Structure 1
Amino acid sequence: MVVVLVVAAVVVVALGASAAWRFSRVRGSGARAMVRCLPADGIHGWRHGVLRYDGERLLFYKLRSLSFTHDMVVDRRVLECTGFRDVTGEEREFIPDDIAHVLEVKAPDGGLEFAADRRTEMGLVSWIESAPDARAERTDIRALAQRAQRETDR
């Protein structure tokens, strides 16, 4: 019986520490937003969280998660803004008043919807649209170095 209580106490302390760490590290380190994967019916699928930009990736941290890492990663080179839509009456019940539009984004594995305040929305659209083309050829530094080495050996 004592062992069960000790194990339960350790689990509760670990979950509390995880929640405190995530709250303190993630909550103030990005832009507040809501994300939903498409296709979705009605008002289902919306997740509150924080968006963080990491180079070519967008990291999404769910508000109600105990994970020590991000919950979703999206590469901006494969995203395409498809437009905006107004927040529906049903969504207005849980989406904050400072959010007027929902940004619709197309990705290879399905669509996404982002609901955020005006500044976050403009920043997200700018970040997506300024992405290099996915078809752009990347310079292979190793291949260049090998070619330069071959030319100097001649």
Structure 2
Amino acid sequence: MLIAVAFVAVVALCASGLWRFANVRNSGARAMMRRLPANGVHGWRHGVLRYDGERLLFYKLRSLSFSHDVALDRRGMQFEGFRDVTEGEREFMPDIGHVLRLSGPDGDFEFAADRRTEMGLVSWVESAPDARQERVDKRSLAARAQRDSGR
């Protein structure tokens, strides 16, 4: 009995990993991300960025979750600037020239990606509508609350 349960668990984990690999790997922009504060080269996670309306979804490549691992709302995010890649980071990011930093209500983050992905992310964040100019649509707000409470 115990062997059967272990076998089913292993099969479920393998299926989850294969599903995640097939659906996430080639469906967004490849990037690395880490939450700040971080010391040295620690905290970097390889993954895929996807834009979902007003949210940036980050899927870690080494995760078995069927959902995104990090979701950032662009309306509260600020682009803080670029920094050069350190010598330690250059060992595992040889083709990356800059690291960009974003801050927001969910914390501070650093992203490293190719030039296209980097510029797309900066443009997406900076083109966010000003929260003071947005009209509140009560129906969409209620629908979002229903959707978010179902998770």
SS in 2 for 1:70: coil
> What is the letter of the counterpart of residue 99 of structure 1?
I
Matched residues in 2 for 1:65 and 1:48: separation?
A: 10
- Tell me the equivalent position of 2:110: 113
- Tell me the equivalent position of 2:37: 39
* In the alignment, structure 1 residue 123 sits paired with structure 2 residue 127: no
SS in 2 for 1:73: strand
8 Å contact kept, 2:72–2:106: no
Percent of residue pairs identical: 71
Compute the displacement of 1:41 (Å): 1.0
TM normalised by structure 1 equals 0.86
* In the alignment, structure 1 residue 51 sits paired with structure 2 residue 49: yes
- Unaligned segments of structure 2, at least 5 residues: 140-151
- Tell me the equivalent position of 2:137: 140
Compute the displacement of 1:139 (Å): 4.2
8 Å contact kept, 1:39–1:110: no
- Tell me the equivalent position of 1:100: 97
* In the alignment, structure 1 residue 28 sits paired with structure 2 residue 26: yes
Matched residues in 1 for 2:69 and 2:16: separation?
A: 15
Matched residues in 1 for 2:137 and 2:105: separation?
A: 25
Q: Give the superposed CA RMSD.
A: 1.2
The structure having more radius of gyration, on CA atoms, is 1
Compute the displacement of 1:140 (Å): 3.0
Compute the displacement of 1:109 (Å): 3.5
How many residues in Structure 1 have an aligned counterpart in Structure 2? 139
